[in-house]
Amino acid sequence: MAEETPKTTLPITTEEEEEAVVTNVSLADKNNNTDAEKVAEFSSFKEESTRVSELPEAEKKALEELKQLIQESLIKHEFFSLALNPPKEEKKSESLVADKKEHVLEHVSDLETKTEEKGQVLESVVDVVATKKGEKKEEEDQPTKTEEEAAPEVKETEEFENNTKTEKEGEKKEDEPKVKVTKVVFASSIDEDGAKTVEAIEETVVAVSSITTSTVPEPSTKEEEEAKEDNKDEALSTPTLVPPEEVSIWGVPLLLDERTNVILLKFLRARDFKVKEAFTMIKNTIKWRKEFGIDELLEQQNLVNDDLEKVVYMHGFDKEGHPVCYNIYGEFQNKEVYKKTFSDEEKREKFLRWRIQFLEKSIRKLDFTPGSVSTIVQVNDLKNSPGPGKWELRQATKQALHLLQDNYPEFVAKQVFINVPWWYLAVNRMISPFLTQRTKSKFVFAGPPKSAETLLRYIAPEQLQVKYGGLSKDGEFGSNDVVTEITVRPAAKHTVEFSVTENCVLSWELRVIGWDVSYGAEFVPSTEGSYTIIIQKARKVASSEEPVVYNSYKVGEPGKIVLTIDNESSKKKKLLYRLKTKPSSFD
C-alpha cells in the first residue's frame, strides 16, 4: 500500500527491525533477474515512541502546532460538517435570513417610492390651496357674507391648511380622518370651474390617506430610520454561534484525550514533521473518510463472497505484540475466485471496499494509548501468486496502494513478503517510486527456502501457523504454551530431556524446519536396573511429511523423557518443541 499503512489489499510489503533484505532467492531466480540482490538496499527502521515525553523538542513543538491548527478548524467547522453535509437547520436559517433581508430592502424601496409620490401629492395640494386664496382675494369686491355664514368656512379652511402643513412636515394625525378634506371642499362656495378643481383635490387626498395608513409605520425622524437600518444590518450579519465540530478517526475523538497524540504523530511522521503538510493530509483523510462512507461501511455485511476469507485474515501477534495480518495471493490462482473478485470495475470496487472495511475493523482493535501497540505487521504470501500478466490484479493493487498511502499513515510496523518469486522483484521496482523512503525501509523479502526462518525472526512459534513454520494450530496446545527454539548444528545430534517425579501424562509437540533429520523418543526410568521404554523408534523424517510430530506418554514412575534429533545434513536446522503435563493416577 504505502505510507506505513497496513498495506493489505494486494501484494505490498514490510519492514524489518535490523535490515530490509531479500533472503534466499534461488540462483535460478537471480539469473532471471539480476536486480534481485539490489531490491533490499533500504535503510533500517525502528518503530518510534508514541509517548510525548520521549519525543525530541522539535517534534513536541510540531505536535502542539498541529493540535492548535486542528482546534481552530474544529471551531470554524473547516473539516466536513458544513462543507460536505450542511445541517438542514443551518440551511433553513440562512434561507430565512436571506428572505428577511430581501423583504427589508423591498420595503425600504417601497417607502422611498411612496414618499416621493406623497410629496408630489402634497405639493399639488399646497398649490391648489394657494390658488384658492388668490381667487378669494379677487372676490373681495363681491358681496361679503355674514359672519355666521363665513365662520364655518374660515374654520374649515384653517383646519384644511393646518392639516396640509402637518402632512407636508411628515406628522401623523391618525385621530383625524383624511376625509375631512372632503368636507372642506363641499363647504366652500365656488364657481363651477373651482368645484371641479376641488373634486380633483379630493381624489388626490384620498390617495394620500391610503398611503399614510400603510401597515409599516414610517420613522418619525431621519436619525431613528438610520438607527433601525443599522440594527437590521447588524442582525443580519451576526453569525449563529455553533459548537465546535466533533471529529473522530479510527474511533478516536480528536483532541479529547491523549490518544489524539498517537493519531497525530502518525500524520506528522508520514510528512517528516512538516506541520502544514501533516495538517493538509489529516484534513484530506477526514474528508475522504466522509466521502467514502467509512462509518456506514463498518455496518455493511456480505460485501464479498466467503472465498476471500482465505485471502486476507488476522492470526496471532508478533514478538512485540503487533497483530499480524496475512495476505494470501495464491488463492487468486483459482480462476473462479479471481473472476468473482476482479473481472469488472464494480467487483474491484466492492473488493476494495471490503478490504478497507477489514482494515478499519482491525485498526479499531488497536490500543491508541501512548506507549501501547498501534501498528500492524503484514505478511504477504506470494506462493503461487498470479503473474504480472494479471492486469486486473495490478490495477487493484495500484489503486489500493494510493488509497492506503494517503489515508492510513504509519499503520504498518513491518511488511514481510515470503515465497517471493523472481518476477515480483521486478514488479516491486515498478511500485517502489510510489512509496516513501520511510515505507520502503520497512520491507522484508524472503524466497521460499528462507520464508519460515524469516517469519520466525518476528513471530513466536506458538503464534505462527503450522503452514508457515510455527506450531499454532487447533489441538491440545494453545498460544499460551511457550515453544522452545534450538538450532541443531550440521552433522550433530541434539537431545531434549524432561524429568518427571510423579505420575502424569506427558505430551509434546515437535518440529524441525525443513526436517530431513532423524527423530526418536524414549522414557528412561530413574530406578536402577529398569528398562528404557521406546516411545518413538528413531526414523528419518522427510520434509514432505507431516510438519509437526505429536506424542504423549503416561508416566507411572520417576524418570525422564528423552527426545533425540540427529542432523546428518550439512545445514543447520531449527528445532521447535513444547511440552506439558497433566496429573494422572494409576490403580
Report pLDDT digits (tens) over 106-123: 554 554 555 555 455 444
Instruction: List the CATH number of the domain containing 59.
Output: 1.10.8
DSSP code for 176: S
Residues 367 and 433 in one domain: yes
The pLDDT, as a whole number, for residue 116 is 53
Confidence of residue 145 (pLDDT cuts 50, 70, 90): very low
Q: Residue 492, SS3?
A: strand
- The cell for 126 is 399646497
Distance CA 511, CA 517 (A): 10
Query: How many structural domains comprise the chain?
Result: 3
Average pLDDT (511-527) is: 95
* Domain final position from 292, 327, 349: 292
Chain-centre distance for alpha carbon 531: 69
Q: What is the pLDDT of residues 404-444, one digit of tens each?
A: 989 999 999 999 999 998 877 777 777 778 776 777 888 99
| 409 in the same domain as 320 | yes
Residues 288 and 302 placed together within one structural domain of the fold:
no
Residues 520 and 507 in one domain: yes
Is 443 within a domain? yes
pLDDT digits (tens, 9 = 90+) for 27-86: 334 444 333 333 343 445 678 899 999 999 999 999 999 999 999 999 988 886 544 444
The pLDDT of residue 481 is: 95
Instruction: Return the minimum-mean-pLDDT range out of 39-53, 109-123, 219-233, 307-321.
Output: 109-123
Identify whether residues 425 and 302 lie together within a single domain.
yes
Average pLDDT of the chain? 76
Q: Is residue 397 part of a domain?
A: yes
For 182-202, letters b (16+ CB in 10 Å) and e give bebbeebeeeeebeebbeebb
- 326 and 431 share one domain: yes
Domain with 66, as residue range(s), is: 48-81+246-292
Higher model confidence: residue 221 or residue 316? 316
Query: What percentage of the chain carries pLDDT values higher than 90?
Result: 47
Whether residue 420 is found in the same domain as residue 343: yes
Q: Identify whether the C-beta of residue 286 lies closer than 8 Å to the C-beta of residue 297.
A: no
**What percent of the chain stands above pLDDT 70?**
64
510 plus 429 within the same structural domain? no
Mean pLDDT throughout 452-469? Answer: 96
- Verify that 307 and 452 share a domain, yes or no: yes
Distance CA 428, CA 445 (A): 11
Phi-psi region at 553: left, alpha or beta (left = phi > 0; alpha = psi -120 to 50): beta
Residue 53 to residue 55: CA distance in whole angstroms: 6
> 88 Cβ partners below 8 Å, 6+ apart?
none
Mean of pLDDT values over 550-568: 94
Does a structural domain hold residue 301? yes
At 259-281, the pLDDT tens digits run 999 999 999 999 999 999 999 99
Q: Which among 429, 459, 489 is the end of a domain?
A: 459
Q: 457 burial class (0-12, 13-18, 19+ CB within 10 angstroms)?
A: middle
Question: How confident is the model over 12-17, as a mean pLDDT?
Answer: 34
